[in-house]
């Protein structure tokens, strides 16, 4: 639709006016009235200026009305552009002035009470006339509406760039019917966008809704989430709340440890909170096994301790296979922890005995002597499985005798526990450093439906854990205890896991020690147990000692700790007189120190001069910025060497140098998306190790320094 250009006679009229003045002057000269002629000419000039200005202003006002007509015509339902449909009246003074009243005629049949329609008309008028209007009157019968000037669009009212970007993105994604009704800023940051739409059919597809959420998160700074009001065609996008750096395990009312069978079915063990503070729980009766995956230092052991301290309070016996041998030492004397296996021999025995318990319980069911509800639950921690497995294989190679299977039986037994544990109420908490095809292949995946991946995952690991190459791949590594897990809606969510102190490390009298005292169950229902190491037997034929076999270790005898204090590791810690530092020094380890067993020789003092120099040195040395080692992790671990790469080759999970000057690296939390605001540009949403985040909009061929994640099976 186009409008015919109106004639603009103001210039012609002005020239005509001066021409008349000149003609009057000429006539006055001929007729001898020269003075009158001059007066007429002089008077004609300001009159010409007035005529010209008036005409020019009228032309400008008409052009403005035409532009408004063209902009609102589709919303007014006009088939052709008709100047009578838009009337700008009651102009304020000025050049060309402001119409204080706008009258618009619309086609009959339009839904003129639709707030969206009215909002669109107002928005378009405000955009064109650069003033704010309000609807003064809608004449439904004669199909016209009147807008009144509501005041100028003040500078602070104009939407900040991020809001404009958000509006464009939303209208691009949802369609032209999307209209924003409310925005909210927190500390200068856009935090909430609310509105409605008429694209119900499009939005009904959950995949499309997920895409909108993803693209919005890429286009706007911060991580966004969407809430859809499907009934009323409404939407709310909000910035995801941030997590606290650390949350100590809350102390709750002490459960009744004697009522272990009664509480079994409803038991829910809290282990962290999501971004809304919603508590995440593990329900062993529903999901019998829990899998904890995370590289070193991500908080896997602390989460295992969180589980342990709580289940023991409910009277569950706990057995621990501690693949690293030192992670659960502090819990050796914790009430209801029956055994902590720190050597490979003990660990093999624990898994075998747990398997025996399970098998025995199956027999009791089949013989009709017991029902599932009679079984006291048993929780077995298989921590640092990869370490355990490696130790096991090398130990087994040395101990295996003729007739033993190629692989240690304990591996099969552990798999069997994962599969069949539920019925016999033998549960597993399985901890390992990275997801592995071994635990996720076949039906194993179903045996570990309850999973927590601690810290950042590689895209390949994310695929294994969460069947999505992006879930959990941008967890900031500076945030210990941050994890991904499944919530009650079966959705993978980011959580901050609870922090539980390690009794071995808690300093007496500290807050951590006090918290442990509050968490410590006051009812010991299960005695501590010890494994009696098998002894070699004398072979009468050869007169040689036959070393114990794999089977001897797996079936070694168990006794109560009180019956064999000589074997009990609890209480047999360092003597008072020899400090740990001396015992741990390489000189002692290599047998080069004077320290003999039971010696009271103190640790040698540093020579004074040396000590003084060291003190002076540390006093004058400026504090170094925190190095990567001090930060507790290598920021590039798990990533390849840096390469240069164009933006359009990047993908989610890549570690990108997002700020060359500040040397800021950020991991892409989504694949680059076409920037809906700038054609030919890509939007890159990144998140750093300190949980800083941002969006970069760059040409598709913009080059970045990139480290790609190392694939798992290399």
Ligand X SMILES: Nc1ncnc2c1ncn2[C@@H]1O[C@H](COP(=O)(O)OP(=O)(O)OP(=O)(O)O)[C@@H](O)[C@H]1O
Binding residues, as ranges, are 294-301
Minimum CB separation of residue 111 from ligand X in Å reads 54
Minimum CB separation of residue 327 from ligand X in Å reads 6
- Tell me whether residue 574 or residue 631 sits nearer to ligand X (CB atom): 631
670 φ/ψ sector (left φ>0, alpha ψ -120 to 50, else beta): beta
What residues make contact with ligand X under the rule CB under 6 A?
246, 294, 296-302, 327, 454, 480-481, 497-499
Q: How far apart are CA 305 and CA 503, in angstroms?
A: 10
Minimum CB separation of residue 318 from ligand X in Å reads 17
- Tell me whether residue 323 or residue 666 sits nearer to ligand X (CB atom): 323
Q: What is the DSSP letter of 665?
A: E
Minimum CB separation of residue 300 from ligand X in Å reads 3
The closest alpha carbon to 226, from 296, 169, 280, belongs to: 169
Minimum CB separation of residue 314 from ligand X in Å reads 21
- Tell me whether residue 237 or residue 498 sits nearer to ligand X (CB atom): 498
- Tell me whether residue 289 or residue 298 sits nearer to ligand X (CB atom): 298
Residues annotated as binding site for ATP? 294-301
- Tell me whether residue 217 or residue 485 sits nearer to ligand X (CB atom): 485
- Tell me whether residue 222 or residue 481 sits nearer to ligand X (CB atom): 481
Closest residue to ligand X, Cβ-based?
481
Q: Is 425 helix (H, G, I), strand (E, B) or coil?
A: coil
- Residue holding tokens 């409605």? 196
Q: Are 493 and 487 in contact (CB under 8 A)?
A: yes
Q: Are 706 and 667 in contact (CB under 8 A)?
A: no
The separation between CA 546 and the C-alpha centre of its own chain, rounded to angstroms, equals 57
Minimum CB separation of residue 467 from ligand X in Å reads 23
Q: Are 651 and 634 in contact (CB under 8 A)?
A: no
Starting at the edge strand that comes first in sequence, how are the strands of the sheet with 99-105 ordered? 86-91, 99-105, 144-152, 131-139
The separation between CA 692 and the C-alpha centre of its own chain, rounded to angstroms, equals 12
Q: How far apart are CA 259 and CA 377, in angstroms?
A: 12
Q: How far apart are CA 66 and CA 75, in angstroms?
A: 15
- Tell me whether residue 245 or residue 570 sits nearer to ligand X (CB atom): 245
Q: How far apart are CA 512 and CA 507, in angstroms?
A: 7
Identify the H or E element spanning 11: helix 10-30
Sign for the CA dihedral angle at 510, 515, 519, 521 comes to positive
Q: How far apart are CA 502 and CA 693, in angstroms?
A: 33
Minimum CB separation of residue 302 from ligand X in Å reads 4
Minimum CB separation of residue 697 from ligand X in Å reads 34
Minimum CB separation of residue 480 from ligand X in Å reads 4
Which tokens go with 689? 């190790």
- Tell me whether residue 498 or residue 704 sits nearer to ligand X (CB atom): 498
Q: What is the DSSP letter of 639?
A: B
- With 0-12 / 13-18 / 19 or more C-beta atoms within 10 angstroms meaning exposed / middle / buried, residue 376 is middle
Cα–Cα distances in Å, from 206 out to 134, 177, 195, 202, 213? 37, 19, 19, 9, 11
């Amino acid at each position: 639709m186009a409008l015919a250009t109106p004639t603009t006679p103001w210039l012609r009229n002005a020239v005509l006016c001066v021409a008349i003045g000149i003609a009057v002057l000429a006539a006055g000269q001929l007729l001898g009235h020269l003075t009158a002629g001059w007066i007429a000419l002089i008077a004609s000039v300001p009159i010409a200026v007035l005529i010209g200005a008036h005409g020019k202003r009228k032309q400008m006002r008409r052009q403005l009305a035409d532009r408004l007509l063209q902009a609102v015509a589709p919303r007014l339902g006009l088939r052709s552009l008709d100047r009578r449909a838009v009337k700008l009246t009651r102009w304020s003074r000025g050049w060309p002035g402001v119409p204080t009243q706008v009258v618009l005629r619309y086609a009959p049949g339009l839904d003129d009470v639709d707030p969206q329609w009215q909002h669109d008309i107002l928005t378009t008028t405000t955009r064109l006339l650069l003033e704010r209007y309000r609807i003064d009157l809608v004449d439904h019968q004669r199909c016209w509406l009147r807008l009144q000037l509501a005041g100028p669009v003040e500078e602070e009212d104009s939407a900040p760039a991020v809001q404009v970007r958000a509006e464009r993105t939303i209208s691009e994604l949802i369609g032209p019917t999307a209209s924003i009704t409310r925005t909210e800023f927190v500390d200068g940051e856009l935090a909430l966008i609310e509105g409605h739409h008429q694209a119900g059919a499009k939005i009904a597809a959950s995949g499309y809704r997920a895409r909108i959420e993803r693209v919005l998160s890429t286009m706007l700074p911060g991580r966004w989430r969407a809430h859809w009001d499907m009934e009323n065609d409404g939407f709310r996008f909000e910035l995801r709340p941030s997590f606290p750096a650390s949350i100590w395990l809350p102390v709750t009312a002490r459960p009744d440890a004697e009522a272990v069978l009664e509480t079994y079915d409803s038991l829910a063990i809290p282990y962290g909170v999501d971004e809304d503070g919603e508590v995440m729980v593990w329900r062993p009766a529903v999901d019998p096994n829990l899998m904890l995956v995370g590289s070193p230092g991500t908080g896997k052991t602390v989460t295992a301790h969180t589980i342990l301290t709580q289940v023991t309070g409910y009277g569950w016996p706990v057995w621990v296979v501690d693949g690293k041998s030192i992670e659960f030492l502090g819990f050796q004397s914790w009430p209801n922890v029956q055994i902590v296996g720190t050597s490979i021999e003990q660990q093999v025995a624990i898994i075998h005995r747990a398997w025996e318990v399970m098998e025995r319980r199956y027999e009791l069911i089949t013989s009709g002597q017991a029902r599932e509800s009679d079984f006291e639950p048993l929780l077995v921690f298989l921590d640092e499985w990869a370490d355990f497995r490696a130790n096991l294989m090398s130990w087994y190679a040395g101990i295996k005798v003729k007739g033993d299977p190629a692989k240690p039986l304990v591996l099969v037994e552990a798999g069997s526990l994962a599969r069949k544990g539920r019925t016999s109420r033998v549960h597993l908490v399985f901890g390992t450093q990275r997801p592995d095809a071994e635990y996720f292949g076949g039906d194993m995946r179903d045996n570990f439906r309850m999973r927590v991946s601690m810290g950042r995952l590689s895209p390949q690991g994310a695929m294994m854990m969460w069947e999505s190459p992006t879930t959990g791949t941008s967890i900031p590594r500076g945030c210990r205890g941050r994890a991904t897990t499944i919530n009650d809606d079966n959705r993978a969510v980011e959580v901050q896991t609870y922090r539980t102190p390690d009794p071995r490390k808690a300093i007496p009298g500290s807050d951590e020690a006090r918290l442990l005292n509050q968490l410590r169950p006051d009812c010991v229902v299960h005695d501590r147990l010890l494994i009696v190491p098998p002894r070699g037997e004398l072979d009468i034929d050869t007169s040689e000692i036959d070393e114990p076999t794999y089977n001897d270790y797996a079936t070694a005898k168990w006794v109560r700790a009180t019956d064999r204090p000589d074997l009990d590791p609890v209480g047999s810690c360092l003597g008072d007189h020899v400090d740990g530092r001396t015992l741990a020094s390489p000189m002692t380890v290599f047998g080069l120190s004077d320290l003999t067993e039971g010696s009271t020789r103190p640790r040698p003092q540093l020579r004074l001069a040396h000590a003084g120099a060291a003190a002076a040195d540390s006093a004058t040395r400026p504090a170094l910025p925190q190095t990567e080692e001090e930060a507790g992790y290598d920021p590039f671990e798990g990533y390849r060497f840096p390469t240069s790469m164009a933006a359009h080759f990047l993908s989610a999970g890549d570690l990108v140098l997002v700020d060359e000057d500040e040397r800021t690296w950020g991991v892409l939390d989504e694949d680059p998306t076409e920037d809906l605001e700038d054609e030919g540009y890509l939007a890159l949403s990144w998140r750093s190790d300190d949980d800083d985040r941002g969006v970069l909009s760059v040409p598709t061929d913009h080059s970045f320094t990139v480290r790609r994640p190392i694939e798992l099976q290399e």
